[in-house]
Amino acid sequence: MNDLALRLLWRLTAALVALVLLAFGVTLLAHALDAAGPVALLSQPSGELALRLDLTALPMRMRWLWAGIGLGVTLVGLGFAWLASARSTASKERSARVTLSGSSRSGLYGSGSVTVGMESLHALVAHAAERDPAVREADPVIRLRKQGWMLACRLSVVPDASIPEVTARVKSALAETLEGHTGLPVVRTDLDVQVFSLDARTRVH
């Protein structure tokens, strides 16, 4: 299962948990504050069970306790709702746009500026890494600093690949691609390598 599917599954799960917690918390809070009719679980003559919850008969201290529990559950539900709707930091970075300025190998950008979408740069860098025959999949994260580009990339490589050779080729390809495309230098490249058929990782800096 890829990262996109996992993120989608997590959001759906968080949304479902939020819905259940909010419904339970608000219901409990409303009954504790006598803002809703009593509900309880009763046995009917027909043998069926009916739900009936009545907190009004409890002492005021106990009612406030249940109200606090209901409020707490509601707040937890709101937290899960926020998690379900919040975008990840990586997603925000990829949808952002950066302004390129200053000097480059091809000359100055001039008095104006050039804006480029980070998503297109991520796609470009991923394509450059995946052109290597030993790389099955690449997932880069790019950040622009004053000195130049900071690049981190997760690689999935074939089992018989030589990690030192692959990482050397990929680092060179990524730097050449990003510098050639933007004119700004790559000052750091971190690679997180995972062998495709094994559950083992080696970090190369």
> What CA–CA distance (Å, rounded) separates 196 from 156?
5
> What CA–CA distance (Å, rounded) separates 151 from 138?
12
| 91-204: CATH number | 3.30.70.1350
> What's the confidence (pLDDT) of residue 35?
65
Q: What is the total residue count of the chain? A: 205
Domain range list for the chain: 3-86, 91-204
> What's the confidence (pLDDT) of residue 171?
95
Is residue 9 classed exposed, middle or buried when 0-12, 13-18 and 19+ CB atoms within 10 A define those classes?
A: exposed
If the chain, 205 residues long, is cut into consecutive pieces of 10 residues, what is the mean pLDDT of each piece? 68 88 85 64 49 66 84 90 70 64 53 76 92 93 88 92 93 93 90 73 48
Q: At what angle do helices 60-85 and 3-32 cross, to 10 degrees?
A: 160
CA distances from 80 to 14, 22, 25, 48, 91 (A): 5, 9, 13, 35, 19
Q: Which residue carries 């690679």 as its tokens?
A: 191
Beta bridge partners of 40: 52
> What CA–CA distance (Å, rounded) separates 192 from 178?
18
pTM of this structure: 0.52
> What's the confidence (pLDDT) of residue 5?
72
Q: What is the number of alpha carbons within 13 Å of residue 93 lying toward its C-beta? A: 12
> What CA–CA distance (Å, rounded) separates 89 from 152?
14
Q: Which residue carries 């190369």 as its tokens?
A: 204
